[in-house]
Structure 1
Amino acid sequence: MTEKFVPTPEAVEQGLYVAYAALGAMAVVPIYFGSFASLKKWKNPKDKKKKKGDESDSDDEDDASESMSLEDAYMFPVFGSITLFGLYLVFRYIDKAYVNYLLTAYFGVLGVMATTQVGVNCIAPIVKLVGIKVDKWHLTLTKKKKEIYSSKFTILHLIMMVASVLMSGYYVATKNWIASNIFGICFALNAIQLLSLDSFKTGMILLSGLFLYDIFWVFGTEVMVSVAKNFDAPVKVIFPRLFFGLPAGEAYQFAMLGLGDIVIPGVFVALCLRFDQHLTGTKNPNLGRSTRFSKPYFTACFIAYVIGLATTMFVMHTFKAAQPALLYLSPACILSVLFMGLVRGEIKEVFTYTSEDGKEAAKAKEAEEKKKNDKKETEDNTKDVAEEKKDKKAKRESSASDSEQEGTPKLRKRKGGKAQKKK
């Protein structure tokens, strides 16, 4: 009978340090590069607007992003709590093997899209630097002259999609932890790049709400830890607690960090970088795509995130218990921005800043509400006209009825007179 391998305390300690360093690297890399990927070309107000057709075919066009508003920030912890508790109930009353089969298939498909996009973003600059020209294809689906779907892609997308499908198949078949981490990092990169906060108010409310959310679900209940252990999908980054020195055939024990602890602070750090771009762009309208501008808020918030993450791991290591990372990350990110704003005398600019995506989303929402109001007003006017016609018709019918009632006795009298005369 083979004896069970028991590592020495020194080996366990060193293994944990390696795991913490690896988790930290897998957290800060997506935040750093995702923040720069979220930057859009600074538009000079004096430049003439391009025509819609020219803009859609331009190689310099930015990808569309989803802006999170103040209302979204308020509701995010609520919907997050409902989803988390729902998953807890599902894992409790349904065989987790079947649930994880479904989740594996779902995240396998998402993983293909995420890794394809990240792969193209990594390869495209190299191809461009080498001087290879890649043709762009534009696929548009329409129905009765109405656009249903539009997509632009190159041969790089097709190559990376094939590679992503192969990797997804490998992950689904083996559940390899390295493939899972690749998917997790790609998810984080895409989320930080495409999800944007419209203002610092929204970001601070979101971080504050999730600060309370994390405390309640980690310290107040067993729900968060239970779901994290049972949820077998690439929604976290993991690393073996003992990577070096583990005998062949021995199962790994993993340390983990949830993607929420990367993405949520990450979009706030990205907001800081866009604010730095805004401050420079207002002084230098010809900034364009240059990233050579002062980055005080981004640097402060990024360093604060690293310090907050290190504090999380230190407390977790000291007390040997799971810690809600946002308990340390949320205050660190918020306080770094407030401190920098006070030091630089720009606290007013911090709270009045609205991102370009936020402005566009607000305009789109206002236009949609105006369209609804106009439609409702038109319907009300149509209804009023119809009711007015109905009232007029009713009055005419009533008038005609009164006339008939007045004319009937005279007719009877006349007929009666004739009959009496005849008699």
Structure 2
Amino acid sequence: MSSKYQASPTQVEQGLYIAYASLATLAVVPIYFGAFSSLKKWKNPEENSRKIKRQIDDEDDEDQDAPSESFSADDTFKLPILGSMALFGLHYVLGEFDTAYVNYALTTYFSIMGLFATTQVGVNTLTAILGLLGIKVDSWRINLARPSKEFYTAKFTLVHLVMLVASVMLAGYYAATKNWIASNIIAFSLALSAVQVFSLDSFKAGIFLLGGLCISDAYWTYGSSEILQAVIKQVDIPIKVVFPRLILGWPLGKAYRFASLGLGEIVAPGLFVALCLRYDQHRAGQRNATLGRSTGFRKPYFIASLIAYILGLGVHFYVGHTLKTTQPLIAYLSVACILSVFLTAMVRGDSKQVFGYTSEAGLAIAKAKKAALDKKRRLQAQKKQAAARRTAPPRAIHRVPKEEVYAAKPSPSVSVSEESTPGSPAI
């Protein structure tokens, strides 16, 4: 029965609309919550310059920011190139080795990555819910140290243990069945964690990232689509969110046909949207030094970029649905997000401040890189000087003959009185 099933045009249209709305939701939700999770506690720069000594206790641990990785313009300029190289490499590996073994290796890797991502997302979600309910969960601490140095410290609660067990079960279920719902949960968690952990240090870095990905995606879509399609067809890993093109009325047991959205089309614009939110926090913190962790500040750039992302998705879905052709989605999203910042800056009259902004993390990294570069240059200069001294010819030493020394040396004059006797001092 299922093999002869043919959906009506109306059912197909409705199914596609549901799929587009579902994919948009799966894309916007991790960007929104990941952006807010990426915010650090705002600290007064004047107080940051002072050395405040305090005892670290449990309350201080809860107030600590999660570790993050900041990307500069130089880093983001290289990312699209590295991504293209990885795609070429994966295509080569699939051509040289058995596809099944390649999928086993990739599934294992992404299952482990998904294990950590789903655990962290689940812990954050459950902790927030329990906090709203007023339920406090006891915590334990693991310290690996010796008297002079601490090697490792970790803090965990019962929520961590519960979510770890659930994540292991989810990863195992996905690896065994490749179920699309389990794949979506892992991909969703990976996207949210990436927006939370990674960050752009300036709008220049964001423009380089989105512009580079736009060019790269256009190349893979129009220039080497056969390589891209070959990799997509042979690899089944949770690097995209999917939804059935027709879910209502579809016969049970018949394989779905899916519409998909790649993680790159969520994470890259998501990093740009999160950058806009951090810039809004920066502007608010300059006016209010005691802002702390409050999110009750005005967010013009964040709202503009998030709306632009949603509009970019909508335009892409409409064009692809109407023309029935494959479109480079990241191009729509990149143009929409970048234009939203340009237009908002022009309307507010602070273009110079926007494009001259560098995050606190970016400034710290730039300062550390400059110090390391200066040290490297000093060491190189010292090595060159030492090498020059070793290779320099010995200096000729001019030795003056003793006769010339004695001749040039004046003899002391001694006056002897006639009345003095030998051996008596002269008067």
Q: Same fold (TM over 0.5)?
A: yes
Q: What do residues 68-103 of structure 1 show as CA deviations (whole Å, max 9, x unaligned)? A: 111112111111111112222223343322211110
Q: Which amino acid aligns with 1:265?
A: P
- Any residues of structure 2 matched to 1:13-24 within 5 Å, and which? 13-24=13-24
Question: Which residue of structure 1 aligns with residue 188 of structure 2?
Answer: 185
1:254 partnered with 2:263: no
CA shift for structure 1 position 133: 4.0
Answering whether residue 287 of structure 2 is matched by residue 293 of structure 1, we say: no
8 Å CA contact 2:200, 2:272 repeated in 1: yes
Residue-by-residue CA offset, 1:264-286 (whole Å, 9 max, x unaligned): 00000000000001111101111
Residue 77 of structure 2 contacts residue 212 of structure 2 at CA under 8 Å; is this kept in 1? yes
**1:291-341 residue CA offsets vs partner (Å, 9 max, x unmatched):** 000000000000000000111111111122222111101000000000000
Q: Say whether the 8 Å CA contact 2:3–2:254 is kept in structure 1.
A: no
Residue 268 (str. 1) matches residue 272 (str. 2): yes
Shift of 1:125: 2.1
Q: Is the 8 A contact 1:55 1:61 kept in 2?
A: no
Aligned counterpart, 1:352: 356
Q: In 2, Cα distance between the equivalents of 1:322 and 1:253?
A: 16
Is 2:117–2:186's contact at 8 Å kept on the other side of the alignment?
yes
Question: Residues 139 and 162 of structure 1: is their aligned pair in 2 closer, same or farther, counting only changes over 3 Å?
Answer: farther
1:94 to 68, 84, 97: 97
Query: How far is the alpha carbon of 1:235 from its aligned partner?
Result: 0.3
Contact 1:141 1:149 in 2 (8 A): yes
Match for residue 81 of structure 1 among 80, 84, 89? 84
- 1:118 to 1:217, Cα distance in 2 relative to 1, 3 A: same
Taking the aligned partners of 1:139 and 1:320, their CA distance within structure 2 comes to 58
Residue 44 of structure 1 corresponds to which residue in structure 2?
44
Map 1:313-324 onto structure 2 (within 5 A). 313-324=317-328
Q: Given that residues 140 and 151 in structure 1 are in contact (C-alpha distance below 8 angstroms), is that contact kept between their aligned partners in structure 2?
A: no
Instruction: Work out whether residues 108 and 168 of structure 1, in 8 Å CA contact, stay in contact via their aligned partners in 2.
Output: yes
- In 2, Cα distance between the equivalents of 1:350 and 1:306? 22
The answer for unaligned runs of 5 or more in structure 1 is 400-423
Q: Write the distance in 2 (CA, Å) between the matches of 1:174 and 1:256.
A: 19
Contact 1:316 1:323 in 2 (8 A): yes
Amino acid at match of 1:293: F
Percent of residue pairs identical: 51
* Whole-angstrom distance in 2 between the partners of 1:187 and 1:53: 35
Normalised TM-score (structure 1) = 0.86
Pick aligned residue for 2:109 from 98, 106, 110: 106
Q: Give how far 1:204 is off.
A: 0.6
Unaligned 5+ segments in structure 2 are 400-427
Asked if structure 2 preserves the Cα contact closer than 8 Å seen for 1:196 and 1:357, the reply is no
Report the RMSD for the aligned CA atoms in angstroms: 2.6
Partners of 2:374 and 2:148 lie apart in 1 by 24
Q: Number of matched residues?
A: 393
Tell me whether 1:219 sits opposite 2:191 in the alignment: no
SS at match of 2:4: coil
Report which stretch shifted further, 238-247 or 356-365.
356-365
1:223-238 counterparts in 2 under 5 A?
A: 223-238=227-242
Larger radius of gyration: 2
Letter in 2 for 1:26: L
Letter in 2 for 1:39: L
What letter corresponds to residue 11 of structure 2 in structure 1?
A
Per the alignment, residue 26 of structure 1 pairs with 26
| Distance apart, 1:138 and its partner CA | 4.1
Cα distance in 1 for residues equivalent to 2:223 and 2:144? 50
TM-score by length of 2: 0.85
> Which amino acid is the alignment partner of residue 19 of structure 1?
A
2:243 counterpart SS class: strand
| 1:126 match | 129
Q: Do the aligned residues in 1 keep the contact of 2:187 with 2:238 (CA within 8 Å)?
A: yes
Q: What is the CA distance between 1:50 and its match in structure 2?
A: 3.7
For residue 61 of structure 1, what is the aligned residue in structure 2? 64
* Aligned counterparts of 1:149 and 1:364: Cα–Cα separation in 2: 24
